[in-house]
Structure 1
């Protein structure tokens, strides 16, 4: 359901809606000063050297185990491990894209393409374009590509207008959400290759060369080491689990949170906070979700190094309470429950249309 910031604020005790004009921007400016004074925007080269080194070493170890095991069904365990590592590579590419690792654009793009295109077969340029638009207008139905109606619908208005595949599955999209995630890994590869035809794609030749090199090396490894049946099984297990892992990492962030339409566009701070959900958890949650469990802080300060997000949360949460902006945080399981409940409710217009037509 589309909810305006004022409506959201009215449902939370003590929350005070504020104007979305230029004057309200000072709220973010004050918060930004507090964050900067706390030293939370400083680079963390030691952390990222260790993290990138571990991801590279563990991924190389996974492929080393793959080569050592040879043609055996035990390779399905290797596929599961490498699905986890592909997800971690994607999270590293995400941090590189936001210049959390390097301050300058050129090294960020170089390493982003190495991790994204070459490492997991996902176009860095395609993803950057899509993700930049998402950050600028999160959960805006006309401006955020992540909530554009495609296979799934994200608001009752989209459900009423749904056609084709979205209409076919929209009434049951909550139950189909996790099964559909098994296709997300394949979708990333297909979307990346399609993006190469886009006239706006920068460094198209480099993007294409790295993507094709990844695909050639990946498929060659599978079919040289494994029998055809095991190779296909490995590919299916690996890519399906990779898709589920990515989906489980990103789904809690915005799904089921308020969406905007038309000229509903509050100031920057409210635009980011009202549409984002934080996920509580310990250090393991931080590692598995790559820091995206602090989605509110990440959206407010995209270039903040991941290890600072936990400390920034204390500052941001207190500040939101101070100015009366709702700050939503829940556990991991509850975050999925909220997202699935939202998807089920959104599908009601489609179910009603089917009942009337029956």
Structure 2
């Protein structure tokens, strides 16, 4: 990948230099897997828009590695970045399937929609919040298209400056041991709610995160009736910091049913599944065929999460309170399954346990299996 000198800084670009996010390789790897899985539904090559392309690393990888990639619209407001992307596309032999644009991202997406050149996939990957770009991205999406959205202001989504989170994501975060999952659900809910305004019904396909980013993949179908049903998947996660009880609810409430303590509410957020089982199977199949075997663990964990509550229990936090360290998350999951509960290791935290068991039942297992 050709990158201009001076663009490998660790912060956002200053507007003069093109910028290559060297930390974004994992996101781009998952992108290739996800788009290959999604394209199986298309008999023809898919069209793609990258409105915040930087030097075009993602677009070039999509063009090279996705089996059914068609025409790619590559855009960045920085003309130097587009020159680098154009040259890199020539070096990689994919220049003929790309068009390059140097416009503000929202304007670029609006022009795609206005010219009726809507695309199958739009990828939003900004510095900071994606909120300003989601609405124009939805307008540029074909019926049944896929919208991928990344947020890099992870501290905001994890509960730092909740007023800022409310402004940008239309919901309140929660500073808890499972704040990453709450953040993903806030991000997805913001995307979903903007789609609902256009009668676009969501189908969440996959979500993943680390300390630098949170990312969701969601397809949208134009259907007012299905959009109405999706409203029922928006709600709250309630947490009692006095006793550790947590629950999902369609509305906020003040008192904990376990200890009578005050419940803190996160939301409105997406309370249903973050992942689609069939989509994950297709991603896993692609991972086995290519150089992405290391992602199978995350994909398997994501698949195991389907149908479980929208939060998890952090095992070290529970064992520290019991003064009983050394428990294996997979062993606790196994013990919960033996007594009839559903349980899985979290895909966003290897020490997190997602389960439909209560905190009392988890503690009882930890006490009974004290190493």
**Both proteins in one fold, TM over 0.5:** no
Higher relative contact order (CA 8 A, sep 6+): 1
Higher helix share: 1
Compute the TM-score of the two structures, normalised by the length of structure 2. 0.24
